[in-house]
Structure 1
């Protein structure tokens, strides 16, 4: 079929292909709108690609669960608000996703977001950078401070791949002799002879 457009019409910028990656199902509710204070709250903790994405999702879910509309599913509200929670590299990632490539349920959005934020090379980098396996109790660090710091290292790299057994063994071996002795005493013998659940209870 012949194209009957003029050259001026053909040279105009296309008006298609600008749809968002996130597919939000049609909302038929009367008088529904996202309130600016809610958008501001979501934007108060933007994810740029350098923070822990799990923490970001926890914050985002907590904020968005405070807003309810009787005729609008909470999932739709989350899908509408999620782009407002991103900035920098993370926003660039979402903008580069193909139009309508993230279907209208939260599982796909969360999966895409986490997989992008924690692809394998980044996980390896974080695991090596934060030195989970080579952690040692600082000279003036209390037992509680060492435990909290170790848990924070694990939180910073949620895809670390270390089993609970490996984590507990690593932590025990990172402690100074006095704290190891205290754990052994609390365990009534060798700390590492106990089951992981008992070890956590002792800690």
Structure 2
């Protein structure tokens, strides 16, 4: 709790009133006026110091004036002043032939290109081997042979192995007399290709094909890769006879898979086991009864 304020007495009140009526007098000091000291100057415009200032001010030390050094000593030879180099003139550009001559040269080069002919003949990737003993490498491909050749376009649904079998059958039946069989196939094989397949053969490196075996190997590597071999091997190992499929239809389908993939590298015992296990139970019983 706060203490109540003290009430002043009557005497204190009278003293306060007396001080208000007679306030104390404040002492005011008037500042002294500013005093300026006059300076005197000589004829040269320098200020003349008073005796009191001369005794207190330090005497400046004057250094002797520097004598200007001569630019050229009389005992030394006078330097030779090199005149400024004048800028060399820009090189003269070679004279360009007149526009008419340039036009004539271009027209001449265009005429040469238009007259140039494409080298014909077989693809540069094919190099024919020496013919076998008693066989001839120089013979003519008859039109009847060329018209009988199967055509392979390089599409995904085409069978490369089937094309090779059909091609070799035509060459064997219509082989010219005395002609080397391998050279005949190498010469006739480009005529059995079309579209992308023919482009592939012409785009092979020069000298890549040196025999009919290398031709077949390169062709199968391109259009019958290892992925197709793996797929057909799986179909052979997992073949099954359908419920509405006869025994003859099942046998033909199995042989068709074998023909599509001669590179299956499966033993005959393995193929026989896959064929037997894929039969329906009734067909299997009939086959066991027939075998005794």
What TM-score comes out, normalization by structure 1 length? 0.69
Structure 1 runs not aligned, ≥5 long: 1-5, 189-203
Aligned with residue 213 of structure 2, among 107, 124, 144? 107
Give the number of the structure whose alpha-carbon radius of gyration is greater: 2
Cα 1:38/1:139, change in 2 over 3 Å = same
Cα 1:141/1:69, change in 2 over 3 Å = closer
Q: Specify the alignment match of 1:78 in structure 2.
A: 185
Aligned with residue 205 of structure 2, among 98, 114, 119? 98
Report whether the alignment pairs 1:162 with 2:270. Answer: no
Q: Specify the alignment match of 2:251 in structure 1.
A: 147
Report whether the alignment pairs 1:34 with 2:141. Answer: yes
Query: What is the alpha-carbon distance in structure 1 between the residues aligned to residue 265 and residue 178 of structure 2?
Result: 42
Q: Please tell me the root mean square deviation across aligned C-alpha atoms, in Å.
A: 3.2
Partners of 1:25 and 1:76 within 8 A in 2 = yes
Q: With a CA cutoff of 8 Å and minimum separation of 6, indicate the structure with the bigger relative contact order.
A: 1
| Counterpart mapping for 1:1-203 below 5 A | 19-24=123-128, 29=138, 32-42=139-149, 45-49=150-154, 50-70=157-177, 72-103=179-210, 105-128=211-234, 131-188=235-292
Structure 2 runs not aligned, ≥5 long: 1-104, 131-135
Higher normalized helix content (fraction of residues): 1
Q: Secondary structure of the residue that 1:55 maps to in structure 2?
A: helix
